[in-house]
Structure 1
Amino acid sequence: MTSPSAPQRVCFELRVKPEMLGEYLARHTPVRAEMLAEIAASGRRNYSLFLGEGGRLIGYYETDDDAAAQAYLAASEVATRWEAEMAPFFVDLDGRPDQAATTLTEIFHLHDQLTASVTDHESDAS
């Protein structure tokens, strides 16, 4: 789990309609420069999308304040246009893709557990 001083790590899942996979990939190769700039300006970084079988799409990013990043993008005309264009690509989506994706719960992070392990080990040695 995330510590209070660490960036928030956000992972989400969507499903791309199989018949639209080719076009979805084309829209992301590359993403429009204005949208890339808005993602960065929102405070999201280390952002990746991963595509699995059957159109399963997993996204991951880090941010210092996810609520602020979401609010920034919700108010952005560029992001609003992009999300409206992307919405038809997804199965059973109720709303904007950037707001309606299923968020996944983080249950393990190597760095956090290694840090806790070292801290615990140092406490045991005292």
Structure 2
Amino acid sequence: MPASFNHTIVAARDRTESARFFQEIFEAADAPSWGPFTNLLLDGGVLIQFADLPVEAYPEIQNQHYAFLVDDAHFDRAYRRLQDRAAEHWADPQMRRPGETNTEHGGRGVYFRDPAGHFLEMITRPYL
């Protein structure tokens, strides 16, 4: 059996707030949560688990990059939600084109941050 991606843990200061943000933007499904995790399920069975990191042990969260592939209709809905939130966003990962989206790689894309500061990317066409 070839390897497939199953789950990841996303560090948060408020796991419920972070999960709610991902659910709102990426339209992820609720999944059973347990222990220290608040869980969401993406298409393809990928589980995203949000876990609070204690400030005393981790004064800063190491920001990660998470990229999500969505269709054009989903992009429109999610981008409208970002705009409604007045969420800071960029067309490029270097954050030189604020308030824009891009049309690179034959689709559209945008970069923004989640409540914990992770750098998120939403694209409508895969790079490969």
TM category (shorter chain) comes to 0.3 to 0.5
Structure (1/2) with the larger strand percentage: 2
Structure (1/2) with the larger helix percentage: 1
TM-score by length of 2: 0.32
TM-score by length of 1: 0.32
